[in-house]
Amino acid sequence: MPALILLRHGKSDWDAEDGGDDRARPLARRGRKAARRMGRFMARAGQVPDSAITSPAVRAADTLQLAMGGGGWSCPVRTAPSLYGGGVSGLLAEVRREPVGTDVLLAVGHEPTWSAALAALVGGGEVRFPTAALARVDLDVDRWDEVAPGTGVLAWLVVPRLLSRKV
């Protein structure tokens, strides 16, 4: 049974000079710390992904790199433009492209897509997905190309503020 872990990018720096390009907005100090903490949590909880996809936005790609560094793990990464502004359908299209052999896929992206995607995958509900939060969805499918709304079960949702600073 494959699993999808959704990671929302860390808190971004709204005061940074980004030249008016939202995709260039960097992480704030708090966002960098949270990304490292969540990466450590993933490693210590045995939740290291086999593969990852990330939005091309600087804050998302940096969140992924900091999580890997913080947890001391790595995996193949691909950048998917559809994870920036492509909505739930863009995320699902990327997930469905994942090859057989990947058991745990990590996707790093944005709100409001992550809340909507989580609700869609588990068949409904309303979820608040704070910055740098992680959610694991266990999928009741045999292959990634079968992932659709209602095919998942929420295994856990973890927010950085619930973890000790040492995690």
- Are 107 and 52 within 8 A, CB to CB? yes
Please report the pLDDT score of residue 14 as a whole number: 77
* Block mean pLDDT (10 aa), the chain, length 167: 96 75 89 96 97 97 98 98 96 97 97 97 93 98 97 96 71
CB 54 within 8 Å of CB 84: no
Listing DSSP states for 15-70 in one string gives TS--TT-GGG--B-HHHHHHHHHHHHHHHHTT---SEEEE-SSHHHHHHHHHHHHH
Predicted local distance difference test score (pLDDT) of residue 165: 64
| Cα 89 to Cα 1, 119, 147, distances in angstroms | 21, 13, 11
pTM of the model: 0.94
Type of residue found at 54: T
Domains for the chain: give ranges and CATH numbers: 3-162 (3.40.50.1240)
What is the model's pLDDT at position 15?
74
Question: What's residue 18's pLDDT?
Answer: 63
**Token output for 25:** 């907005």
List the structure tokens of 137: 């969805």
